[in-house]
Structure 1
Amino acid sequence: MVYIKKSVTQPLVATSVLLAIFNIGNANAVELKSSSTSQNASNAANILQKIEKDTLVETPTLESDKNAQNVTSVSQLTDVKPTDWSFTALQSLVERYGCIAGYPDRTYRGKKALSRYEFAAGLNACLDKINEIISAGLADKVSKDDLAAIKKLQEEFAAELATLRGRVDALDAKVTKLEAQQFSTTTKLNATVIFALADTFGGVGTGTNAQNPQKTTDATNLNFSYRARLNFDTSFTGKDLLRTRLQAGNNPNLGNATNTQMARLAFAQDTVNVFQIDKFYYRFPIGNSATAYAGVSKLDPDDIADTLNPYYESSDKGALSRFGRYDPLIFRGPSGAGIGFSYKVAPEFTVAASYLANSDTAANATGQAGLFGGGYIANLQMVYAPTSNLKFGLAYARSFEPGSNVNFAQNTGSNFGNKPFATGTGNGTGFDTSADRYGAQFNWLASKSFNLGGWVSFANARQESGAGVGNTANLFNWGVTLAFPDLFATGNTGGIIFGQPPKVTSNTNAARIDPDTSYILELQYNFRVSKNISITPGIFAVFNPNQNALNPTTWVATVRTLFSF
């Protein structure tokens, strides 16, 4: 076969190159190969096929080279004319030996440059065809002139063929070793480890979230902690993904240390140094435009929908504050187990939807639990991208939380924001709470060095149990993000986040209305040490913590070092 696919690693992708293993020193160029050599060639071809079909091995090729097609008549090659000087030679090779292949667009492209190695591989393809003819007892179909010409060519290209044979032998040994020692043919392991040095200053006293003055707590101890995640990403078709994530850490919740959950870090995770299964979900395509999701643990709305906050949504390398990752009223809720999908209606228009139940209770068949009987959040989002650098999103979410598990703002708001309906004026026992949530997001990459994004959302919550059933409360929050890619050096990013955490603006229970407004300001700089290491020093301030102007400002300073491999 004269046509050879080209790629970054040519000896690995051209099967005809691998098949160029035959007896160079044989006096008769068309004599059948020895059984041992033939077996080696067959093994090499089989190994190559396994490598090329492995969904986790990426072998880049030119788009036009992907599907070479054998032709049975030279007339099938649209760029070869009877008047061409090469027409007769091609006609002979095609119709007598069938060792010519064309491109998918039915062209031959005979004017393209050809290396000696490529020619040697094509020569061997024709030798294989001739050997097949002889093996079938049809030796009289091969002319003596052809045999003589092939023998001469074989001698001329002996060095190239020998080199190819050596490369294949080395590849065979390496692949054999790889197959014996590999972890899995379908699963890749990737991991991230965070080392975090953090401290807080100021903080809210131990009083309630009322309008009485709050004393400042003493500064917490400087703490040094970690979080480790091991992701086992499995693909069965090359387009799907089964993610199993193990996680361990001892990152403290600084919200507990400062008496305001607004001070919580984005990557806080304390498993008491014990590895646990964290995420467990499957993602697969449906046709060319849709992707479906199904999960049983920590499948969240932000895994399915677009947060439109690309520089800050990751807990590994995004915002340092929990609030700064994305809109907490839209993309946080009692989630983890359920289904979802995203569908690209048009190049500029995408729709995503999901129904996710609380993964901690979804497997429980009794009480307020199960897939539909307990806490859940159902999301619908539409994203419009008029250009590749500009996106707008509109989202709606419906949620329900049993009284025992109410955490409406998911530890990003005040006590009232987390439990709009509860006993007492503090963070008391909650009641069943349902809500309709509405939000809008945008992201604009204004230039290579400046990105602007943000969100705004509103929620109407209703009390569904206990004395006061039918009470309603409204919550509001917004955020603005600025990112400066390649600031001071390529690969580094500066960032600013400013916003208002979820606030109860009105409530039928007047005792649980936030009296003032909290604001969060975060400054950070992500320094890329290498491809696998980055360091992010930063600080964020919580003004009027717990939506109370009488509470002193809380400061959180941290240095996050991320190792990824």
Structure 2
Amino acid sequence: MTGKILWNILLAAPVALGAALVGLTPAAIAVEAQTSSQTEAASTELVSVTEVTLIEPTTQVDELAPVPLVTTETQAVTLPVVSEVDAVAESEALGVSQLAQLQEYSAEGQGEEQEAAQVTSVSQLSDVQPTDWAFQALQSLVERYGCIAGYPDGTYRGNRALTRYEFAAGMNACLDRITELISSGSEGVVTREDLATLQRLQEEFAAELATIRGLVDNLEARTAELEANQFSTTTRLAGETIFAISDIFGGEADADADNELEEPGVDEQNNLVFQSRVRLNFDTSFTGTDRLRARLQGGNFSRFLGDPSAGETRLGFETNTSSYDVRVDDLNYQFNLGDRTRIGIFANSADLRDIVLENVASPFVSSGRGAISRFGRFNPIYRITNANGAASITYRLTNPALTNNVFSVQLGYGAGEANNPDQGDGLFSGDYSAIAQLVGRNLLGGNLDLVFTYINSYIGTEDDPANPDPDDNDIAGIRSPGLGSRLSRVDRDRPLSVNSYGLQANYRFSPGFQLGGWVGYSFVRAIGLGDADVLNYAVTLAFPDLLGEGNLGGIVFGMQPRLIDSDNSLGLGDDGEDLSTGFHIEGFYRLAVTDNIDITPGIIWLTAPNHNEDNDDIFVGTIRTTFRF
């Protein structure tokens, strides 16, 4: 029994001896002496400016003050330390502190010996707690001098933990405020006790203050450089250039008069081509929430020859120019009207996708970074007309403060010859399309986008004063060489009245996989002759960040616009429909070489081109390189 007692005494002796030594260290003696001297001094004694030495605060006070005391839910982030005097020593101190924090966290719950461990300095903590001396000292200064205004709602929230950098920012605001009071010669305001408290806080948080100074200095330098070299105070210039190497392969085409096939095959008519496109967007904002866009575009694309449908092989990034004629490709202005309404005005060359602000629920909508084919980007019914003047309104039904789900109603109208005052043209006398959409975004936990679409259109004929040149309209599956089969354009030299219905959806199963698609159905009436029905559909699979951040894998399987039924009076084919069903199969992989350069190889496989199984399959291959600047 006696031996056991002696053994316990030996174990306890080093602890007692260490405690005694700590109590006798110069730091401890200094603290006791300081406490004694502060007790003897009167708390209201004023100090002159010459008696105070403060560490110089950050030069730009307005950018850091006021800083609210806020709660940090995550671990403190280590920022790069920019030291003014001894950068190496401060960096080593921070590294030791962070290592101590990690060791402390990893050792939690490993026994009573860990519970007995003590924290001897506030610099060992990752957060400053409301119960810490430093927190309470700063809180007292804030309440006394009003150096932090608090949150916009007027609350102070002084009962929440802060990271050391948040704390240092708040302390810096108090330093600036007290320095301002001393410099102004205010009497009876700053006490010696408060100055001593600030001095101690500066010593405890010297590394964090140095970091904040460095970050602010760096930010000021970068801001000055941007202001000196900015393109415009209101306009931002953004550009995109595409280089594409493409070729087409396939066998013979069947010359079937009933299917209106006029072209032979593609093997002997095409060669490998190198084509390009450049866009310059000038985006101007006057209020911060509006946007005026003017786009200049040029390109040198020529379509492949021998396509039985004269449209199914079109690429998604083609232009309407073949000799780099520069045109104003886009000119529109969008602005908010209240908190939930967005107005769009389009002055030239806008399809319905532009009019509804690209709410088409497709991950492949971009011509430069999305699908490589024209069909694979979005539902072709949005291309039914190309307006020279249009307007739209988008009204958000849901309150963003209450839910992340977004339900919107969109209405739009576009005129094909809005700029032409001739008989049968203008805003309301010529070709037009009116669109209505119900849009749901971020549904089912933020994963589903869903769009219901209705479009009513009028399309004139070549002899119709309302449409003197129908080929100017980029009509998909209705009139000119846009998409789909020849019969699906219902080209019978009669004006067309078209009612189209669309359903588009895209579901994000995970960050790396999305499943989507669309269905488009058009009821076409050749005025005074008969009716026809045109159908298209697609299923899309998207793989964001495939094998690397910024990459995109894509698969499209669908049917381009096909005539599925028509009145005999129209004389479209033997049975009033396309002879067969051809499929569009597409695969591509966008590789992000850098943040601004993408390379996208892809292939398109068309079975039964022109929806005629007598035509051999066609393959289109391309390598698209996109530069953004």
Provide the TM-score with structure 2 as the length reference.
0.66
Call closer, same or farther: CA 1:152–1:436 in 2, change over 3 Å. closer
1:59-88 per-residue CA deviation (whole Å, 9 max, x = no partner) reads xx98999xxxxxxxxxxxxx999xx99989
Is 1:522 matched with 2:522? no
How much has 1:349 moved relative to structure 2?
2.9
Deviations 1:514-555 (A, max 9, x none): 432332221222223232222221211222222333333222
**Which of 571, 595, 598 does residue 534 from structure 1 map onto?**
598
Give me the whole-angstrom Cα distance separating, in 2, the residues matched to 1:431 and 1:45. 72
- Indicate if the aligned counterparts of 2:142 and 2:174 stay in contact, CA closer than 8 A: no
Task: Kindly report which structure 2 residues correspond to 1:37-436, keeping only aligned pairs within 5 A, or say none.
Answer: 94=143, 97-103=145-151, 104=153, 105-109=155-159, 112-114=162-164, 118-132=170-184, 134=185, 139-142=186-189, 145=192, 175-202=223-250, 210-211=258-259, 215-217=264-266, 218-254=268-304, 260-271=310-321, 272-303=323-354, 304=356, 308-346=360-398, 347=405, 349-358=407-416, 361-384=417-440, 385-403=443-461, 404-406=468-470, 407=475, 409=477, 411-418=482-489, 420-422=490-492, 430-436=493-499
Whether the aligned pair in 2 keeps the contact of 1:280 and 1:297 (CA below 8 Å) is: yes
**Segment drifting more, 273-282 vs 381-390:** 381-390
Q: Is the 8 A contact 1:289 1:345 kept in 2?
A: yes
2:558 aligned with 1:510? no
Paired residues, what number? 486
Cα distance, 1:400 vs structure 2: 1.3
1:436 is paired with a residue of what secondary structure?
Answer: strand
Match of 2:626? 562
Cα separation, 1, equivalents of 2:469 and 2:520: 22
1:494 corresponds to which residue?
553
Please report the TM-score for the alignment, with normalisation by the length of structure 1: 0.73
8 Å contact from structure 2 (residues 603, 620) kept in 1: yes
307-316 or 106-115, which deviates more: 106-115
Q: 1:206 & 1:342 partners in 2: Cα distance? A: 47
Offset at 1:345? 1.8
Contact 1:494 1:526 in 2 (8 A): yes
Per-residue deviation, 1:199: 0.7
For the 8 Å contact 1:299–1:336, the answer to whether it is kept is: yes
SS of residue matched to 1:210:
helix
List runs of 5+ in structure 1 lacking aligned partners: 1-25, 31-36, 53-60, 66-78, 423-429
Cα distance change on mapping 1:224 and 1:109 into 2, 3 Å: same
Output the CA distance in 2 between the equivalents of 1:178 and 1:448.
35
User: 1:452 maps to what in 2?
Assistant: 515
Checking the alignment, whether the CA contact within 8 Å between 1:211 and 1:550 is kept in structure 2 is: no
Matched to 1:373, the amino acid is S
Give 3-state SS (helix, strand or coil) of 1:534's partner.
strand
Deviation digits for residues 385-404 of structure 1 (CA, Å, limit 9, x no counterpart):
33422333321100112213
Of residues 459, 470, 475, the one that matches 2:534 is 475
**Deviations for 1:34-72, whole angstroms, at most 9, x for unmatched residues?**
xxx9xx96xx679x69xx9xxxxxxxx98999xxxxxxx
Structure 1 position 370, deviation (Å) = 1.9
Verify the 8 A CA contact 1:500 1:520 in the aligned structure 2.
Answer: yes
Contact residue 327 and residue 456 of structure 1 kept, 8 A: yes
| 3-state SS of 1:324 partner | coil
Secondary structure of 2:372's match? coil
What do residues 463-491 of structure 1 show as CA deviations (whole Å, max 9, x unaligned)? 34xxxx25322212222222233445554
**Structure 1 residues 308, 546: closer, same or farther in 2, change over 3 A?**
same
- Closer, same or farther: CA 29–370 of 1 in aligned 2, 3 Å: farther
Q: CA RMSD in A?
A: 4.1
The letter of the residue matching 1:233 is: D
Matches of 2:138 and 2:515, distance apart in 1: 62
Identity %: 33
1:207 CA drift (Å) = 5.5
